[in-house]
């Protein structure tokens, strides 16, 4: 009996040593869901617009168009509502901050924010055919461009339907791609070279967001569907571009060495009208600073984010929902 008691004491000591060596995992943090935050009631109209770049009424216009893409098939795991997903993505577009910061503000994880931004951006990009297109009646557009180019009593250029230019959206170095150097632009950073055609009221008529930063503007246009439509007279009108493009019958560029007064006046009118697309870039990037600061997402998601911001920009212009940055 004494020997058995001694053996039991030895095993008890061994068991205690094993228990001391085993690290007991800490309990997982409880899930915190977005429903604890209610931006519509927590913020006033002005504060809401500063944080999400749109008024509350416009949110109710955007949401029904993408609800079908955001709804969960089941209620397993307490899925986040389409409204909360849209506001999370808009918060990311409006700040250009790290996803983990947006997640802390919205009380969700960084991985959830990543999935939401990817899903919402794809849903908004699918609306591109409905919101990014040339109007059916171009007569008013031509008249607006002609009035925009007036200098004194002299009329502006006629038959103009848009101004074209490219802008660089900064990205991180792409991964999983053999030719990554082609995304480094002439200024030395990685980017996507995005082609945009703008109207007189700063609306976007056409956008191409798939070319690497080192690609020349004229090459993007030559390989675009817009070039084919213009050459086939599917679009009745001409575009204005800078000196980096080739002058054609439907693409007007400045005269490099004007010799007469008429040529000088043409350059002034051409530049005055073409500046509308530069103003468009400024308004577009001020509303969505993520385009100005840069994007660290995958290339496919980055392209969807750019197009999604273009769709949202046109929706805002369509409902006259202006946004101004107030400097401190």
Q: Where are the domains of the chain?
A: 34-126, 129-318
pLDDT value at residue 108: 83
pTM for this one?
Answer: 0.86
Mean pLDDT by 10 residues, the chain (328 residues): 49 47 53 61 88 92 94 71 91 83 78 92 96 93 88 78 96 84 93 96 96 95 96 94 94 92 90 94 95 92 96 96 71
pLDDT at 199: 95
Confidence (pLDDT) at 150: 78
pLDDT for the residue numbered 58: 94
Q: Report pLDDT for 18.
A: 45
- The gap from C-alpha 328 to its chain's centroid, in whole angstroms, comes to 26
């Amino acid at each position: 009996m004494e020997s058995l008691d001694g053996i039991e004491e030895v095993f008890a000591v061994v068991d205690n040593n094993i228990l001391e060596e085993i690290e007991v995992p800490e309990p997982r943090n409880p899930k915190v869901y977005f429903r604890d935050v209610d931006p519509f009631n927590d913020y006033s109209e002005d504060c809401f617009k500063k944080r999400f770049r749109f008024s509350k009424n416009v949110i109710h216009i955007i949401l029904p168009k993408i609800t079908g893409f955001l709804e969960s098939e089941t209620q397993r795991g307490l899925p986040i509502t389409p409204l909360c997903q849209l506001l999370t993505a808009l918060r990311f577009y409006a700040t250009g901050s790290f996803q983990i910061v947006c997640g802390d503000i919205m009380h969700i994880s960084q991985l959830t924010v990543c999935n939401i931004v990817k899903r919402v951006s794809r849903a908004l990009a699918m609306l591109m055919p409905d919101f990014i297109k040339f109007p059916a009646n171009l007569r008013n557009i031509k008249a607006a461009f002609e009035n925009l180019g007036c200098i004194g009593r002299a009329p502006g250029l006629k038959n103009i339907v848009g101004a074209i230019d490219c802008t660089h959206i900064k990205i991180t170095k792409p991964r999983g791609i053999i030719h990554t150097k082609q995304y480094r632009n002439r200024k030395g950073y990685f980017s996507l070279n995005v082609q945009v055609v703008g109207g007189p009221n700063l609306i976007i008529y056409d956008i191409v967001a798939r070319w690497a930063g080192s690609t020349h503007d004229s090459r993007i246009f030559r390989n675009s569907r817009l070039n084919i439509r213009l050459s086939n007279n599917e679009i009745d009108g001409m575009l204005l571009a800078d000196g980096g493009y080739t002058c054609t019958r439907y693409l007007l560029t400045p005269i490099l060495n004007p010799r007469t007064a008429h040529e000088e006046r043409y350059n002034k009118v051409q530049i005055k009208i073409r500046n509308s697309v530069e103003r468009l870039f400024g308004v577009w990037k001020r509303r969505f600073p993520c385009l100005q600061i840069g994007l660290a997402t995958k290339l496919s998601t980055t392209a969807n984010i750019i197009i999604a911001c273009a769709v949202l920009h046109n929706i805002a212009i369509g409902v006259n929902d202006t946004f101004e940055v107030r400097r401190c």
